[in-house]
Structure 1
Amino acid sequence: MDATLTKVFIWDMDETLILLKSLLNGTFAQSFNDLKDADKGVQIGRMWENHILNVCDECFFYEQIENNNTPFLDALKQYDDGRDLSDYEFDRDELCPPFDDLSLKKIAYRHRAIAHKYEEGLQNIFDKELLRVWDELYDMTDEYTDRWLSSARVLLEQCSSGKEVSTSSLGLASLDSADTKSEHVNILVTSGSLIPSLVKCLLFRLDNLITHGNVYSSWEVGKLQCFQWIKERFNNPNVQFCVIGDGWEEGEAAQAMQWPFVKIDLGPGSCHRFPGLSLRTLGCYLSVVYGSPSDETDEE
C-alpha cells in the first residue's frame, strides 16, 4: 500500500482567498471602525467586477454557456470527441438551447478551450496595457486590504509544500513529521458559477497554485456534494482534509464529513484572516481531528 500521507486543503474563494463582496458592500471597511475609506473599497470592487465580466465574456465564452453551469470543467468530458480545436469557429457553431447531446459536445469543446487558456495564463490573453492595469489594480487592492491577497497566496504556497518559513529561531514549521512522506493539494470549492470562478483565479493570481481541475462550483449541487466528490477522488485511508472558508454552508458540509473547518474572520484583530492565518494554525486543526504526527509515532 502507498504510505504517502495526502493533505487536502479545501478553500472557499470569496471573502476567503479573495475579497470582493465585502469591498462592494463596505463590510470590510466597517470592520476597521471607519479607519478604512469605504468609498475607495467600493470603487476597487467595481473595477474588479468589470475586469471579471469582460474576461468572462470576451475570452471564456460565458455569455454563450452561463445558463449551463457545471460543477467542474471535466463534467462534460464524455461528450468531447477530442477534435482538434485549432481552427474551430466557436462563433459559428450555433450553440443554443435545448442542450441536447450535440449542444453538450459544443460546450465540452469550450470547456477544453477554457482549460487551455487557464493553463496559458493571463499573459497570453492580455496585451501589455491590460497587464499593466491589472497589476496596478492588484497592488492597489493588496495595499487597501493590508496584504490580504498576497498573504493568502503565500499560505497557499506553503500548503502546497507543507513548509512554513518562520522568522523565529524555530526555522521551519511543518505540517508533517520529519519521516513522513507526504503530498499536499489545494482545492477550491466556491459557491459562484464555474467560469467566473476560474477567471477570478486568473485575475487574483491563484492559477499557478490551484489547477483548473481542482476548481469546483457548488452553485447547482451544494458544497456537501462537492466535498463528497472530493472524498471519492482521494479514496485512500492516508488522506486528511481541512476546509477553510467564511460561510455557514462549508462549515455545515465540513461537519457532515467530519473534517476540520477553519472559519475566516474579516476582523483586523483575528488570527483567522489574511495576514494572520498560518500553516501552523491549519496543522493544529488537522491534529484535533486526525491526531498529530507525534501521536502516530508513539502508537508505532
Structure 2
Amino acid sequence: MDQKMKVYIWDMDETLILLKSLLDGTYAGAFNGSKNVQNGVNIGKLWENHILRVCDSYFFYEQIESSNQPYLDALNQFDDGIDLSDYNFSADGFGPKIEAHNKRKLAYRHRVIADKYRKGLFDILNQDLIKLWDTLYDMTDTYTDRWLSSARACLEQCAGQERDVTTSINSANAYGQFQHVNVLVTSGQLIPSLVKCLFFRLDKLITCDNVYSSWDVGKLQCFSWIKERFDGPNVQFCVIGDGWEECEAAESMRWPFVKVDLQPNSTHRFPGLTPGDLRHYFSIVYGTTDEDDEGSAVVTQ
C-alpha cells in the first residue's frame, strides 16, 4: 500500500502556544485559584514586548503592518530577484498603498524576512537577549506545566522521520524534509506570527512557507490554498485548533478537526494530546491510519 502523507494544520494561539490566555487570565482561571493569574499576565506581557520589539527591529513590521499578506510568497511574482545586500529599505519610498511599485518593495521585504526566519533568532539576537529568551521560555513552560515543550514534541512526532527530498513518494512531499507536514494557519497577522514561531521554537518544524495568516482572507480560504498545494491521492489533512472558525472551515473541507481545550482535566491540551490521538481522528474520516513510525498496528474502521 502507498504510504500516506499527513498534513497537520495547526492554529497558533491557545493551541501550539499560550499568549492571549496568559494576558487575559483565562489560562490561570481554569485552575480555580491554584495558579497565580498575575504571574501569567506578567509572563504574557514580557512575551508581547519581546515579540513586538523584534518585529519592528528586524522584520519591517512598523513599515508593513498595514500591508498584511496571507503568506510570504503571495507577492513573489513582483520580486525581480535583485541583490538586496546593499538595498536601503529605509529610503526606498515604500508606502502603505498596495500598488505595483509597492508590491515589488513589499516582496523584497518578504524575501529578507524568509531568509531571517530560515537562519533563526540566533543569527539576530545577541547573547544577552538569547539568555533572556531562554529564561522566559523556560519560565513559561514551567508556569504552563510544559505546554510549550509538549506541543513542540507533538509537532516533532507528527512530522515523522527526516527524509531525502530527492526520493519523495510524491510531488507534495517535496515541500519539506520530513515524512509529514506541519502547517500553521493563524488568525493573527503574518509577521508577528512568524516571529512567534521563532520565539516559541517552532521554526524547524514549521517552515516559513507553511505559515498562513487568515487575518484578511479567513481560514476557509487558507485551507483551500493548502488543499490545492498539497492535495494528492495519498495525502490526508487534519486541523487542530481551539476556535469556531477553524472548526467550521475544517467541516467545509470534510477534514477531521481536533478541538484544543485549556481546561486542566482535558486530554485535548498540552501536555496530553498525542500523535496517536490525532491518528484516531484521521481514521474516523479517512477510514484507515498507516502504521506509525513506532510500528503500531494499522487501524481500520
Aligned residue type for 2:32: N
Normalising by structure 2, we get a TM-score of 0.90
| TM-score, normalised relative to structure 1 | 0.90
The residue type equivalent to 1:144 in the other structure is: Y
Relative distance call for 1:294 and 1:24 in structure 2 (3 A) is closer
1:80 is the counterpart of 2:76: no
1:261 aligns with 2:257: yes
Matched, 1:233 2:233: no
Question: Deviation string for 1:202-251 (max 9, x for gaps)?
Answer: 01000011000000000000000000000000121211000000000000
* Count, aligned residues: 279
Which residue number corresponds to residue 292 of structure 1? 288
CA contact (8 A) 1:5 1:183 kept: no
CA distance in 1, matches of 2:57, 2:84: 18
| Counterparts in 2 of 1:281 and 1:108: CA distance versus 1, 3 Å | same
How far apart, CA to CA, are the structure 2 residues paired with 1:227 and 1:148?
A: 26
Paired position in structure 1 for 2:193: 197
Instruction: Name the CA shift for 1:92/1:31 in 2 (closer, same or farther; >3 Å).
Output: same
Identity of aligned residues (%): 64
The change in CA–CA distance for 1:44 and 1:106 in structure 2 (over 3 A counts) is same
Q: Which amino acid aligns with 2:122?
A: Q
Q: Report the aligned-residue RMSD.
A: 1.9
Q: Give the equivalent residue in structure 2 for 1:152.
A: 151
In structure 2, what is the Cα distance between the partners aligned to 1:98 and 1:292? 49
1:130 equivalenced with 2:152 (yes/no): no
Alignment match of 2:180 (pick from 178, 181, 184):
184
Structure-2 residue corresponding to 1:252: 248
Flag structure 2 segments of 5+ consecutive residues without an equivalent: 163-177, 292-297
**8 A Cα contact 1:4 1:183, kept in partner:** no
Question: What is the letter of the counterpart of residue 131 of structure 1?
Answer: I
CA-to-aligned-CA distance 1:75-121 (integer Å, 9 cap, x gap): 00000000001111111111114321111100000000000000010
Structure 1 gaps, min length 5: 164-181
Q: Which residue of 2 aligns with 1:271?
A: 267
SS in 1 for 2:56: helix
Q: Compared with structure 1, are the counterparts of its residues 293 and 130 closer, same or farther at alpha carbon in structure 2 (3 Å cutoff)?
A: closer
- Paired position in structure 2 for 1:219: 215
Misfit runs of 4+, over 4 Å:
none
